[in-house]
Amino acid sequence: MSADGQARSHWFDDEAGPVVRPYAMTRGRTSHAAQHRLDLIAVVVTEPHAGDPERDPTLSPEHVEIVGLCRDAPQSVAELSAELDLPIGVVRVLIGDLVDAGLVHVNRPVPPAELPDESILRDVISGLRAL
């Protein structure tokens, strides 16, 4: 209650605790240089040589959690966003930071234009059967 007897509004949810705005997690950044490679189905993998990210004071708890999740099993950008309950844009910036730090790498899916044509695959199968 304030001095005038009215309840003060809170900027946080009592059950959830204080709210951290997404721009605070990314230090105000909305994109990353590597972001063009981070579509929703790009797979993030922890580097084998990545040590304990908790020891790095430059990494946020979200960075550390991404490294941990990807160490257990490779995760897509969309899966990480859902698991961390963060917007895709924030997750892309955080992953970009981790790529720059050499803690993770990103495997991009093959674009459909680069996949072999179905007719070529059928011809190859027919040729193999003829052998």
Q: Whole-number mean pLDDT of the chain?
A: 78
Of the pLDDT bands very low, low, confident and very high (cuts 50, 70, 90), residue 79 is very high
| Rounded Cα distance, 54 and 67, in Å | 10
pLDDT score, position 109:
77
Spacing of C-alpha 49 from chain mean position:
19
| Rounded Cα distance, 96 and 32, in Å | 6
- Position 23 pLDDT exceeds 70: no
Does the reported pTM lie above 0.95? no
Most confident range (mean pLDDT) of 3-17, 20-34, 47-61, 89-103 is 89-103
pLDDT score, position 83:
92
Find the farthest-apart pair of alpha carbons in the chain and give their distance in angstroms, rounded. Answer: 91
pLDDT score, position 11:
52
